[in-house]
Amino acid sequence: MTAQTTAIEAAALALGDDALVLSHRLGEWAGNAPVLEEDVALANIALDLLGQARVLLSLVGDEDELAYLREERAFRNTQLVEQPNGDFAHTIARQLYFSTYQKLLYGQLASGEGPFSGLAAKAVKEVAYHQDHAEHWTLRLGDGTPESHTRMQRACDALWRYTGEMFQPVDGLDVDLTAMENSWLASVTAVLEQATLTVPDGPRTGAWTAGAGRQGLHTEPFGRMLAEMQHLHRSHPGATW
């Protein structure tokens, strides 16, 4: 990062990296999802996110260079989106937490006049389907068999400590984070309760929580994900189809 990086670019990088990294994680399900329809659904959600990432990263610089040639510490995504897919329940918990946040974020940005309003107005409608998808699966797994309930609860608990980071201030992002966090908590609580799950009681900020991704500190699995994502481009620089 150079000193000229403007606040808007910093915000575009943070949101763009969230979308890019989650898109890649969801893409890892291709060919592995529990049912064919889910394979297709997760690929479609990944594609929506990739589209958002391309628009956002293009505001910062060359999208390919940013995606394929940056080192781990230069990525500004939250630690939540880089978490491994785990079992299907973990993926759904991550989707629930993130799509609920992203819907609120784009909703606020769309109603403003800022540099992201055009993209946000478009993406908010796409993300509404992602949220709907995550909520339905949370209900199905939470209120399903004892096994699916246990796994869904475990996933919600495991990812809970990463959720505070989404509401940390980001340079250049002009949104009401307190209002967003309150709406997020209310929305997630309602879905978990309807799914007969317990809202995790662990902390979301402060000691014993995670969340320094926006500062470039990432969890251990992210390095491996990045190696896989960047391998082809780095091995064959400038290659085209």
Partner 1 sequence: MVTMTALEEELSRIAGAVPDPELPVLTLRELGVLRGVQVLGPGRVEVELTPTYTGCPAIEAMASDIERALHDHGVPEVSVVTVLAPAWSTDDISDEGRRKLAEYGIAPPRPQGPADGPIPLTLAIRCPHCGSTDTELLSRFSSTACKALRRCTTCREPFDHFKEL
Instruction: Output 140 or 234, the one with its CB closest to partner 1.
Output: 140
List 11, 21, 124, 225, residue binding partner 1 (CB under 8 A): 124
60, 116 in Cβ contact below 8 A?
A: no
C-alpha distances in angstroms, 200 versus 51, 97, 163, 205, 209? 32, 12, 11, 13, 13
Ranges of H-type helices in 59-87: 63-68, 79-82
Report, in Å, the least distance between residue 228 CB and partner 1: 20
95, 81 in Cβ contact below 8 A?
A: no
Q: Residue 167 has which token pair?
A: 């509401």
List 44, 183, 205, 230, residue binding partner 1 (CB under 8 A): 44
In this structure, how many other beta carbons lie within 10 angstroms of the beta carbon of residue 201?
7
Q: Is 227 in the site for partner 1 (CB under 8 A)?
A: no
In this structure, how many other beta carbons lie within 10 angstroms of the beta carbon of residue 199?
14
List 2, 37, 147, 240, residue binding partner 1 (CB under 8 A): 37
List 7, 30, 40, 227, residue binding partner 1 (CB under 8 A): 40
Instruction: Output 122 or 233, the one with its CB closest to partner 1.
Output: 122
135, 69 in Cβ contact below 8 A?
A: no
Q: Is 54 in the site for partner 1 (CB under 8 A)?
A: yes
Q: Binding residues for partner 1, per CB under 8 A? A: 37-38, 40-41, 43-45, 47-52, 54-55, 103, 107, 110, 117-119, 121-126, 128-129, 132-133, 136
